[in-house]
Amino acid sequence: MEYVMRPIGVIHSPFTDKKQTPIQPTRSQAVGQVVVYPEFAEGLQDIEGFSHIILLYAFHQSEGYSLRVKPFLDDQLRGLFATRHPCRPNPIGISIVRLLARRGHVLEVEGVDMLDGTPLLDIKPYVPDFDVKQDTRVGWYETRSKE
């Protein structure tokens, strides 16, 4: 079984080099533009009501993957699915960004951490009722989160 995904837009960011790109949006206040292709613009109605949105996109510069990787924040090999590494069997990235403004089919967002030109696959509203969990443990990341 295969699922064919086609971009619904493109994400512009200040990052043109993988090495300069921040690790996650929490560590970025960079502003970017999410350009939704005009044929999908109608689907953006009501989005201004949400302070944050979830961007799903293709890690288009990632090639291949290993099942054990050294995360950017760590110096030991970890299981790929215990990391947010961009090289994955299905190279889908997710980032939660702040929605600053909408101008027609263009969204201005804060906290981008993806490369300029990243293909957009989906946008979902960020809803704390669904997306925030309590009593969390974060495994290997625990000791790294303060760095």
Contact 50, 101 (CB under 8 A): no
The residues with which 106 forms a beta bridge, in sequence order, are 35, 103
Any alpha helices (H) in 79-121, and if so which ranges?
A: none
Applying CB under 8 A, among 17, 19, 20, 42 the residue interacting with a second copy is 42
Nearer to a second copy, 75 or 132 (CB): 132
- Rounded to whole angstroms, the Cα distance separating 135 from 132 reads 10
Tell me how far apart the alpha carbons of residues 75 and 13 are, in angstroms, rounded to a whole number. Answer: 28
d(CA 11, CA 13): 7
Contact flag: residue 147 with a second copy (CB under 8 A): no
Binding of residue 68 to a second copy (CB under 8 A): yes
Q: Is 101 in the site for a second copy (CB under 8 A)?
A: no
Q: 50, 61, 87, 100: which one contacts a second copy (CB under 8 A)?
A: 50
Interacting residues with a second copy (CB under 8 A): 1-8, 24-26, 36, 40, 42-54, 56, 58, 67-68, 78-84, 88-92, 94, 96, 98, 119, 121-133, 135-142, 145
